[in-house]
Amino acid sequence: MITFTSTLPDDLMKMLSDKAKLLKLPKNKLIEKALEIYLDQLNKAEYIKSYKNAANDEDLLMMAEEGMVDYFKQIRD
């Protein structure tokens, strides 16, 4: 495990300390879990954005439609 040192604004540190006490967790574990959740949300947002971009890509839509035609032919046969 790698050690990471950082500074936080006083108000954020207070919220972190209060929440860690409430949840009976060490602050570093709370930060670790929060960071995992945040990074996962960023990945999901990037994934959603890529699908939205694909929906506006004429070439990609045409390839998908052609693929569906082939797929339906295979099912039918």
Query: For every residue of 12-50, which 3-state class applies, written as one string?
Result: HHHHHHHHHHHHCCCHHHHHHHHHHHHHHHHHHHHHHHH
pLDDT at residue 63, rounded to an integer: 77
For residue range 5-19, list pLDDT tens digits in order: 999 999 999 999 999
Q: Do the domain assignments include residue 11?
A: no
For residue range 22-71, list pLDDT tens digits in order: 999 999 999 999 999 999 999 999 988 887 777 777 877 777 777 777 77
Q: Do the domain assignments include residue 14?
A: no
pLDDT at residue 39, rounded to an integer: 97
Q: Do the domain assignments include residue 60?
A: yes
Q: Which domain holds residue 47?
A: 28-76
Q: Do the domain assignments include residue 70?
A: yes
Q: Do the domain assignments include residue 48?
A: yes
Q: How many domains does the chain have?
A: 1
pLDDT at residue 43, rounded to an integer: 94
pLDDT at residue 61, rounded to an integer: 75
Q: Do the domain assignments include residue 23?
A: no
pLDDT at residue 56, rounded to an integer: 78
> Is 62 within 8 Å of 55 (Cβ atoms)?
no
